[in-house]
Structure 1
Amino acid sequence: MDSTIAKLRTATTGTPYEGRLFLVGGIVRDKHLAERPDEDIDIVLEGDAAQLADFLHKTGVADHPPVTYPRFGTAMVSVSGRQVELVGARKESYDRASRKPATAPGTLLDDVLRRDFTINTLLENLHTGEILDLTGQAFADIDKRIIRTPLDPHVTFDDDPLRMLRAIRFATRFGFAIDPATYTAIRERSHRLSIVSAERIRAEFSKIVMAPSAPTGLEMLRETGLLAQFAPELVAMRGVTQNIHHIHDVWNHTLKTLELIPADSGIILKLAALLHDVGKPETRSVDEQGTVHFYRHEAVGAEIARHLMRRLTFANALISRVAFLISMHLRVGEYDQTWSDAAVRRLIRDADDHLDDLVALTIADKGAANPATQHVDIDAFRARVRKVHDELAGQRINSPLSGREIIDLLGLEPGPQIGAIKEYLESRIVEGSLLAGDKAGAVELLLRKYGKKSDE
């Protein structure tokens, strides 16, 4: 990043642009916070951003021809492989039914006042390094660790309702507090999130889930009413009481589970933790003895999670993996030393390549439950899995019957079904109900499952 900035500085030194270009946004904020710099490079100038982009292209600084957005007075260039956004200082005004602004040229002060939060309004002169705080609040709010809007928060959030999610995302990422007036405005304007696209909501929501203080951020989302706008299924978990195996309601148990997921985990495991009990409100029942049950909540929850994630436009592959973890999240926790090797093999087979994530989810889930009643010996489980894995590694797991033998036995035509039947026989070997190479046993299994040929 420093090399990109140096290249831009060198290219514009001795030109009319010298002293008129300012770094703005996350890159300046993070330098003051001593954080890892934001990947984005944003430069603002009082002038025409498209002309600057054209200059950078003609002088060979930009890697490719620029992309310009005349309506917004912005341009994108690539310098040393890094994207740089160039912005002409501007004023903005919004239609309440849209988040796309009408723009007009403005001053640097106009430009910083239209931005989301004071912490993102610092300007750094590209050539002199001088840092400007035109709002008079940015340095103080960074030092006091406060998220605040540069204008009346109602105006800021009416202009772009996504900023309400961004406020919580920054608070969650940096461990900042949200200014009380700003927080109140989020509550009062939460319904405005309805005009924001699902894709943009998903992007901010994902960053909150991945943040170090994700449980705090999620509680803010719930408390402000934002969560109800895009994930009411999560809000429904609050106040759902559980049985003796838990000391929290479903919502607070979920937040604790997410907190216990390893910090370096990916989005799939963290979403699985957040959604693992989303089926409980719908499946809660109380028997005659007053005991609370959540029968099949893992299956119901997996389906609810699919609908929620599709609505938020998550990728299909991610949705499938998260839903699978939810559907399987009870299995590892049910383990005890009385399990047969065949039962362990079945779990290994069913978990496929998700076993490590299931173990991590189980550790967090049990850790967030009642310690007096909930315990699983994970070390013993892992040792058992290693033992069974080692035994399986010594075997060749191949179908005892060839494709031709299966065709002749069952009177089938060649096709994909034959491969599926061979996989079925191999799975029986893995779980211990069929010995490797046992042709007679394989024949017996198939005849019992599929019946004899129709001409016999």
Structure 2
Amino acid sequence: MIQEFHKDAIQHPVFQLIGETADELGMDAYVIGGFVRDYFLKRGTPKDIDVVAVGSGIQLAKKVASKLKGKPEVSIFKNFGTAMIKHQGLELEFVGARKESYHRDSRKPVVEDGTLEDDQNRRDFTINAMALSLNNTNFGQLLDPFDGISDLDKKIIRTPLEPGITYSDDPLRMMRAIRFATQLHFTIELKSLQAITENKNRIKIISEERIVDELHKILMSPTPSLGFKLMHQTGLLPLILPELTALQGIEEIEGQRHKDNFWHTLEVVDNISETTDNLWLRWAALLHDIGKAPTKKFHNKIGWTFHGHEFVGSKMVYKLFKRMRMPLNDKMKFVQKMVLMSSRPIILAEDHVTDSAVRRLVFDAGDYVDDLMTLCEADITTKNPKKQRKYKNNFQLVRQKIVEVEERDHVRNFQPPVSGEEIMQTFNLKPSKEIGIIKDAIKEAILEGEIPNEYEAAYQFMLEKGKQLNLKVHSE
């Protein structure tokens, strides 16, 4: 192997300090993994730095921390044999070189001390197995036994050892391979891709949290569809998100066809990724049509319908989030709301845009109306340039109308100008259905544009409504 040195990669003084400390302890130390990979890819300097020591990583970490300014705390994870130091915005993780063996029913390996070569063998991909020496005698020397440098040049994801063993041992690596291919725009080597397909069912031993973590990273990449296409191609997708693969296919009855909602969904996700970094809005794009599979029906006179798919889809979001152990909090509710309302602006854009329809949209969407519009604009996947221009122009009109209506009527996060307490006092009422009737009537009158969203107009309307309900104004 040609000895290459890359001292410029490890110019930060902390690397020199780690190397000197390792020399004092009589052990070899290397920076390995993502830091080295990203240096060669010119992706900026990662804040997470993995240091592998041929010896005790914990001992090296403690000694390094004692020499650092401010003597930072060392977090020790005995179960994993690792230690972490946070210093000047860097996260330094130290581990002893090790070799691993696996049991069939677990991705948790049996670990024993090993050499650097053992440690590089256990790495997931060749591009993550490159190491730079930190010891004084060969500071900056690249150790690349699997020619990860060439794979970076060729833009290939390849495993250091036989891929079938690599993926069977730790099936999460299948998701990681797809994630790296998506983030870096790399190709997974054919043997590796076949091994993922053969080992796809092994994904069942991986926790939902780990899988979701990889899904988040795929969704946050510049072109998420690359990852979902690879999951689909290898058979992983139906095991992880069957709601998506259920959308695939085009049926034709009596010459009437519907579009393939699976491939349409992937286009929508790519579209929205060009305009927002909001992870949960990207999730909403991914799930916006999942209600179409269970609601699909063919009618002789009108063809294919998906009635109520938004409502059904929003219910499915909860089940999916629960199954995948995703947060069942405001993030889930946001995705549900986006799925539930995903067709509303489209209907508006197709018809004449009335003030009352826009008021209702803003009232129902609240603070999320801009996100909803972003989702609907991403939903334009027609290849007809004329139609595409028309939809985009119409959505622009809807956005403009939203601004005008909101400035004038203030219905976003609507609070009625007349409170329930005031209605009770005015008509000397105890809690009763009449209060709800009057409050709803005021809200409807404002949304329909019958009265402005102002106290005086709402108060007069309340009196009128009270008279219709045979209520008497209470005079003290």
**Structure 1, unaligned runs of 5 or more:** none
Partner of 1:403: 421
The within-5 A match list for 1:130-145 is 130-135=141-146, 137-145=147-155
Superposed, 1:93-104 pairs within 5 Å as 93-104=101-112
Number of aligned residue pairs: 448
| 2:99 is the counterpart of 1:91 | yes
Shift of 1:176: 0.4
Preserved CA contact (<8 Å) 2:49 2:91: yes
Instruction: Select the residue among 312, 315, 319 that pairs with 1:300.
Output: 312
In the other structure, the counterpart of 1:386 is 403
Residues 369-378 or 116-125, more deviating? 369-378
Distance 1:62 1:44, change over 3 A: farther
Q: 1:11 to 1:231 in 2, by over 3 A?
A: closer
Q: Tell me the alpha carbon deviations over residues 129-177 of structure 1, each in whole angstroms, 9 at most, x when there is no partner.
A: 2211022x21111111100110111111121110000000000001100
Aligned positions of 1:160-239 closer than 5 A: 160-239=170-249
Cα distance in 2 for partners of 1:274, 1:444 equals 48
TM-score with structure 2 length normalisation? 0.85
Paired residue type of 1:176: F
1:270 aligns with 2:286: no
TM-align CA RMSD: 3.2
Q: C-alpha displacement at 1:335, in angstroms?
A: 1.5
Task: Encode CA deviations 1:281-315: one digit per residue, 9 max, x unaligned.
Answer: 10001111361100011111111122112222222
- In structure 2, the residue matched to 1:330 is 343
CA contact (8 A) 2:264 2:381 kept: no
State the 1:209 CA deviation. 1.3
Q: What residue number does 1:35 align with?
A: 43
1:370 Cα deviation from its structure 2 partner? 6.1
Within 1, Cα distance between the matches of 2:25 and 2:297?
Answer: 70
Q: Distance in 2 between the 1:274 and 1:252 partners? A: 11
Q: Could you tell me which amino acid in structure 1 is paired with residue 267 of structure 2?
A: K
Q: Deviations over 1:11-39 (max 9, x none)?
A: 64274258822111111001111113333
5+ residue gaps in structure 2? Answer: 1-8
CA distance in 2, matches of 1:323, 1:46: 50
Is the alpha carbon distance of 1:429 and 1:53 closer, same or farther for their aligned partners in structure 2, counting shifts above 3 Å? same
- CA-to-aligned-CA distance 1:350-394 (integer Å, 9 cap, x gap): 111111111111111123476676743122212222221232269
Secondary structure at the aligned position of 1:67 is classed as strand
Between 302-311 and 427-436, the greater mean CA deviation after superposition: 427-436
Deviations, residues 89-130 of structure 1 (Å, cap 9, x unaligned):
100011111111111111111001101000101101235222
Q: Kindly indicate whether residue 61 of structure 2 is the aligned counterpart of residue 53 of structure 1.
A: yes
Distance 1:4 1:283, change over 3 A: farther
The alpha-carbon deviation at position 182 of structure 1 amounts to 0.4
How high is the sequence identity, in percent, across the aligned residues? 35
Q: Is the Cα–Cα contact under 8 Å of residues 124 and 132 in structure 1 kept in the other structure?
A: yes
Structure 1 SS opposite 2:290: coil
Partner of 1:111: 119
Are the equivalent residues in 2 in contact too, given 1:247–1:369 (CA < 8 A)? no
Asked whether 1:442 is paired with 2:454, we answer: no
Distance (whole Å) between structure 1 residues aligned to residue 441 and residue 11 of structure 2: 56
CA distance in 2, matches of 1:88, 1:354: 48
- 2:104 is paired with a residue of what secondary structure? coil
* TM superposition shift of 1:277: 0.5
Q: More displaced, 87-96 or 258-267? A: 258-267
Q: What letter matches 2:295 in structure 1?
A: T
Farther-moved stretch of structure 1 (312-321 vs 360-369): 360-369
